[in-house]
Amino acid sequence: MSNDTATEQSALPAAKGRTPLWKKLLKDPQSSIAGGVIFIIVLLGVLAPWITGHGPNTVRLESINSPFNSPGYPLGTDQYGRDIWSRLLHSINTSSITAVISTTIAIGIGSVFGLVGGYFDRLRGITEWVFALIMTFPGMLVLILLLPITGGDFRITMAIFGVMLSPGIYRIVRNQVVGVKSELYIDAARVSGVSTIRILVRHVFSAVRGPVIIAAAFMAGSAISIQAGLAFLGVGSKETPSFGAMINDGFRNLYIDPLQYIWPSLLLGIINAALVLFGNALRDAMQGAQPKPAKIGQKVDAKAGAAGQNKISTVGKPSGNEGVPFLEVTDLVIAYPRPDGSLNDVVHGVNLRIEAAETLGLVGESGSGKTQTAFAILGVLPPEAVVRSGSIRVGGRELIGMTETDLRRIRGKQIAYIPQEPMSNLDPVYTVGAQLVEGIRAATGVSARAAKERALSLLARVGIPEPIRTFGAYPHQISGGMAQRVLIAGAVASNPKLLIADEPTTALDVTVQAEILDLLRDLQEELGMAVLLVTHNFGVVADICSRISVMHGGQIVETGDVFDVFREPQHEYTQKLLNAILDETSHRKDPPVETLELAGGAKR
Amino acid sequence: MLSFALRRIGVGLVLTLVMTFITFWLLSFSFESIVSSRLGQAATPESIAAVKVQLGFDRPLMVQYGEWLWNVLHGDFGVSLFTQEPVSGAVFARLGVTLSVVLPALIISTLSAVVLGVFAASRAGAADKITQGIMLVGHFVPGLLVAIALVVVFAVNLGWLPATGFTPFSEDPGLWLASVVIPVTVLSIGGAANIASQVRGSMIDELRKDYVRTLRTRGIPTNSIILRHALRNSAGPALTVFSLEFLAMFGSALIIEQVFALPGFGTFSFNSALIGDIPVIMGLAVFGTLMTITVNLLADLGIGWLNPKARVY
């Protein structure tokens, strides 16, 4: 895997280990309370024959409308003298059966055909057709229409309703499958010889099960509501105790005894609430903390930030800009929260300096914290990351603790960024041109027309053969190498003083890699910008960097002139890295630059 | 794109044909009871047989269906067995009532869902907790309960709004508003909750994607990233839920109209189905199928328009 950014990031949450799902659910108050409520309610329903004194349909005309807490009738009786407590508990069973029948059928039908239809393009036409047909049944009307055939039996009615719910599941699964299928890792799995069935079951299923489960919880709720609604309308057997029938009775008796209406409504509401809450908790437990929203902007530890500020005021405020490097990173500490809430440092006190118009290579293996450092300089760390302390100064200005609005003015014009994976870094729904124009206008404020001209000339400059065509193309219509050129064009669009390139060639073909490096070197000379090149490839460093910083375990272990470091590596780790490369290729007599590049390519 | 739309319309027409045939076939099981209920107390085996002949129910199923289809293709949906009212006119008269509840509800729920979903996804912490709370309440309180509660409070106790009944917009816009405000509220709450949780979920996913980070590094304003980029990218899944919600509202309208005694599509369908008014039910089946097909087609075209990569045509 060459996806350094991804592995570096995913390595962090993976460290917390895997807890079994049921343990997570028990621990989480929302799921344990909601699940407990559902369990108790279902249990009450099951035990109904033993814990009620009267049958649900036993009519006793001598004791109609008994009030709450009457002898023998804990919740009183309705206008026919039926025991409300007993009717309530027996209604639970009706709802449980309703939910089980409908959701089982909906999920079974919907997910099987969703997987098949989503994955196999040729079969999709047929499944789409069939589910469009199912969907076309006017739901409630069909349920009512079929009364003569179902005989009013709610179980058959709800089985039919399950079939009608299945297009909802089908569409969720199919959409997810089509989306997941186009993700790169499925291609990777297929290329590495994993069979289609295994791809379906493992990759796709794990991607869709969350949405299906949450949908199932809602479907159980809606099936229960629909059943109640039908019973409220008077569809179905009068012998079946049901919340709907009770609500209808209570509604008609509202002025005599409002409690008769409130009991079934309350219980129906509680069941629905518990189902939805349980579904949400289950989703969170299955998909991890991923669906948590986050405000855009970088988190800075308030205490440490203040301490950092203090340090800056004493250490780094020399008069004038003479002798001050363009970028200076001091004692940068970045941490991620552990599951228990404590912080885990991943970058421990990094120090970096980049002079104007200088190219610095930041080298290190995956997980060494180099991408985290780069993101911190740009102020785009993932939302859960915390900058614990340190200082990042660009042109003498402190970036740590700066608001997103202020950072925005520096980004684009002062610092720009070239990502590793070109495709996922372009917005798929806008044309290449629209994205370039938006960036240029945001950074420079020129007119749309001027921005378009600038974008076209940039596209030509970065070596795109047909700028006008690429300008109007969507990201999925261009190649990876082209996309990387587009991203470079976007990054240099407003003449930044510092360009941060995070493994800019890793995801590209070897021939394209060399071209992109040439382009970067030319642009660096032409625009006189400083470049921070994040890479694990010594060949790339030797090719275009003047200085090098070696990163290991979240710290910079060695910094120096490229030739010095290559000739006489000081730190043990740097020696190990260099030896690992040189050993493989020591029999060759090629000039070092080419050798290193080949070795670097092979290492991946 | 045109050929995609035409193909889908063609498939839709075939679907309508299949749907109406299935409906007709299912209805044929209850021809006997329909005739006897039409005759009421006076029904004798002889009179039932006579009426069956008179209505043509004694002929083979395919012949009857073929005749119905032939007439429909000539624009004639027949007349109600019970009221002698022409079916197409009757359906459209009721449709107006239902649409004047469903459309405002759909607009309100979509707008509030987008606001809620985007708000929750782009602000962490308390804002997200509160909006999630609102969404949950919308999810788990059945519309039927909200409807009755609102009627009890605003119509019965406070007397501000009519408990039941409907005034057409053309007659008195003020009274129309009063007559639809509770039903629209009830439908909107559930709809907004469903669409909002979808918007929130897909917004959260989008905001974590690589391209969002790259856009940030270009100095693009946060609002533009949220509204222009992330929202448009998450609008596809939301549109799917939206189209499902639109159709679901026609279903919920059935109960809501019963509670509020609105003479709409739902009430009309329910009553026609209960008495077995075959030409009306068939007309409703045609209309329901065509509406579903249209909404789905529009949703797919919309998703394709929003996301060029997901274009299915």
Asked if ipTM goes beyond 0.90, one says no
Following CA atoms A571, A577, A579, A583 in sequence, which dihedral angle do they give, to the nearest 10 degrees? 180
pLDDT of residue B311: 63
B136 chain-A contacts, CB cut-off 8 A: 273, 276-277, 280
d(Cα A147, Cα B27) in Å, to the nearest integer?
Answer: 10
d(Cα A378, Cα A408) in Å, to the nearest integer?
Answer: 10
pLDDT of residue B310: 63
To which residue do tokens 């049901």 refer?
Answer: A242
Amino acid letter, A59: V
Cβ separation of B124 and A182 shorter than 8 Å? no
- A316 Cβ under 8 Å from any chain B Cβ: no
Nearest CA to A462 out of A430, A445, A486 is that of A486
Amino acid letter, A560: G
* pLDDT of residue A588 exceeding 50: no
Contact A559, A549 (CB under 8 A): yes
A218 chain-B contacts, CB cut-off 8 A: 139, 194
Nearest CA to A492 out of A519, A465, A473 is that of A519
Q: Which of A213, A254, A427 to mutate to test the interface with B (most CBs of B within 10 A)?
A: A427
Q: Which residues contact B126 (CB under 8 A, 6 or more apart)?
A: none
Q: Which among A102-106, A393-397, B164-168, B179-183 has the top mean pLDDT?
A: A102-106
pLDDT in tens, A251-278: 778 777 878 888 888 898 889 888 878 8
In sign, the C-alpha dihedral spanning A395, A398, A400, A404 is: negative
Q: Which among A26-40, A89-103, B265-279 has the top mean pLDDT?
A: A89-103
Phi, psi of A362 (to 5 degrees): -105, 105
d(Cα A103, Cα A105) in Å, to the nearest integer?
Answer: 5
* pLDDT of residue A453 exceeding 90: yes
CA distance A57 to chain B (A): 24
Cβ under 8 Å to B: A residues 202-261: 218, 221, 225, 228-229, 232-233, 244, 247, 251, 254, 261
Cβ separation of A141 and B269 shorter than 8 Å? yes
Comparing A65-69, A92-96, A348-352, B196-200, which segment has the lowest mean pLDDT? A65-69
Mean pLDDT calculated for residue range A530-537? 90
On average, the pLDDT of chain A sits at 79
pLDDT of residue A572: 84
Report the length, in residues, of chain A.
604
What DSSP string runs through A160-227? HHHHHHHHHHHHHHHHHHHHHHHSHHHHHHHHTT--HHHIIIIIIHHHHHHHHHHHHHHHHHHHHHHH
Contact B239, B303 (CB under 8 A): yes
In sign, the C-alpha dihedral spanning A38, A41, A46, A47 is: positive
d(Cα B229, Cα B224) in Å, to the nearest integer?
Answer: 7
Q: Name which of A380, A438, A442 is nearest B213 (Cβ-Cβ).
A: A380
pLDDT in tens, A76-113: 888 778 888 888 999 999 999 999 999 999 999 998 88
- CA-nearest residue to A170 within chain B is B240
Burial of B177 (0-12, 13-18, 19+ CB in 10 A): middle
Q: Which of A225, A226, A265, A477 to mutate to test the interface with B (most CBs of B within 10 A)?
A: A225
Q: Tokens in use for A529? A: 């910008």
A418-433 as b/e, with b when 16 or more CB fall inside 10 Å? bbbbbbbbbbbbbbbb
Give, for A24, the enclosing helix (H) or strand (E): helix A21-27
pTM above 0.90, yes or no: no
Question: Where are the domain boundaries for CATH 1.10.3720.10 in chain B?
Answer: 87-273
Continuous H helices in chain B? 2-28, 31-39, 45-55, 61-73, 87-122, 126-140, 143-150, 173-207, 210-217, 222-224, 231-260, 265-275, 278-306
Q: What is the widest separation between alpha-carbon atoms in chain B? A: 85
Residue A343: pLDDT band by 50, 70, 90 thresholds?
confident
Q: Name which of A261, A274, A490 is nearest B218 (Cβ-Cβ).
A: A490
Q: Tokens in use for A515? A: 């071209």
Nearest CA to B138 out of B99, B206, B188 is that of B188
- 3-state SS string for A326-349: CEEEEEEEEEEECCCCCEEEEEEE
Euclidean distance between the first and final Cα of chain B, in Å?
6
pLDDT in tens, A34-65: 889 999 999 998 988 888 777 787 777 777 77
Cβ separation of A427 and B211 shorter than 8 Å? yes
Mean pLDDT calculated for residue range B170-195? 86
Residue A468: pLDDT band by 50, 70, 90 thresholds?
very high
d(Cα A217, Cα A215) in Å, to the nearest integer?
Answer: 5
Comparing A196-210, A440-454, A464-478, A559-573, which segment has the lowest mean pLDDT? A196-210
d(Cα A124, Cα A121) in Å, to the nearest integer?
Answer: 5
Strands (E), A440-521: 498-502
pLDDT of residue B275: 79
Cβ under 8 Å to B: A residues 108-167: 129, 132-133, 135-141, 144-149
Q: Which residues contact A323 (CB under 8 A, 6 or more apart)?
A: none
pLDDT of residue A199: 67
Nearest CA to A91 out of A75, A107, A105, A103 is that of A75
Strands (E), A36-192: none
Nearest CA to B248 out of A218, A124, A103 is that of A218
Q: Which among A120-134, A513-527, B299-313 has the top mean pLDDT?
A: A513-527
Euclidean distance between the first and final Cα of chain A, in Å?
7
What DSSP string runs through B220-255? --HHHIIIIIIHHHHHHHHHHHHHHHHHHHHHHHHH
Distances in whole angstroms, Cα of residue B3 to Cα of each of B10, B54, B239: 10, 46, 22
B236 chain-A contacts, CB cut-off 8 A: 175
Cβ under 8 Å to A: B residues 214-243: 214-222, 224-226, 228-229, 232-233, 236-237, 240
Which CATH code is given to the segment(s) B87-273?
1.10.3720.10
CA distance A148 to chain B (A): 7
A439 chain-B contacts, CB cut-off 8 A: 215, 218-220
Q: Which residue has the higher pLDDT, A14 or B278?
A: B278
Give, for A386, the enclosing helix (H) or strand (E): strand A386-394
Question: Helix or strand or coil: residue B97?
Answer: helix
* pLDDT of residue B99 exceeding 80: yes
Nearest CA to B285 out of B68, B93, B43 is that of B68
d(Cα A74, Cα A83) in Å, to the nearest integer?
Answer: 8
- CA-nearest residue to B292 within chain A is A136
What DSSP string runs through A530-582? EEEEEES-HHHHHHH-SEEEEEETTEEEEEEEHHHHHHS--SHHHHHHHHHHH
Cβ under 8 Å to B: A residues 391-450: 404-405, 408-413, 415-417, 419, 421, 424-430, 435, 438-439, 442-443
Task: Give the DSSP letter of residue A241.
Answer: -
Domains and CATH numbers, chain A: 21-286 (1.10.3720.10)
A259-287 and B126-140 are packed helices; what angle lies between their axes, rounded to 10 degrees? 130
Cβ separation of A293 and B269 shorter than 8 Å? no
Cβ separation of A426 and B23 shorter than 8 Å? no
B240 chain-A contacts, CB cut-off 8 A: 171, 175
pLDDT of residue A417: 92
To which residue do tokens 């788990």 refer?
Answer: B140
Q: Which residue has the higher pLDDT, B232 or B124?
A: B232
3-state helix, strand, coil in chain A (%, to 5): 60, 10, 30
In chain A, % of residues over pLDDT 70: 81
- CA-nearest residue to A151 within chain B is B30
B205 chain-A contacts, CB cut-off 8 A: 290-291
Q: Name which of A137, A182, A408 is nearest B219 (Cβ-Cβ).
A: A408
Q: Which of A227, A242, A296, A413 to mutate to test the interface with B (most CBs of B within 10 A)?
A: A296
Cβ separation of B217 and A182 shorter than 8 Å? no
B173-207 and B143-150 are packed helices; what angle lies between their axes, rounded to 10 degrees? 140
Q: What is the widest separation between alpha-carbon atoms in chain A? A: 109
Q: Tokens in use for A61? A: 């005309």
Comparing A401-410, A528-537, A578-587, which segment has the lowest mean pLDDT? A578-587
Q: Which of B16, B211, B217, B303 to mutate to test the interface with A (most CBs of A within 10 A)?
A: B217
Question: Helix or strand or coil: residue A277?
Answer: helix
Q: Strands across the sheet with A498-502, in order? A: A415-418, A498-502, A530-535, A359-363, A547-552, A555-561
CA distance B240 to chain A (A): 8
Nearest CA to A129 out of B34, B11, B124 is that of B11
pLDDT of residue B313: 46
Contact A345, A554 (CB under 8 A): yes
pLDDT in tens, A195-222: 666 666 676 677 777 778 778 887 888 8
Residue A139: pLDDT band by 50, 70, 90 thresholds?
low
Phi, psi of A581 (to 5 degrees): -80, -45
CA distance B53 to chain A (A): 22
B19 chain-A contacts, CB cut-off 8 A: 133, 136-137
- A30 Cβ under 8 Å from any chain B Cβ: no
Q: Name which of A133, A144, A295 is nearest B18 (Cβ-Cβ).
A: A133
Mean pLDDT calculated for residue range A450-461? 92
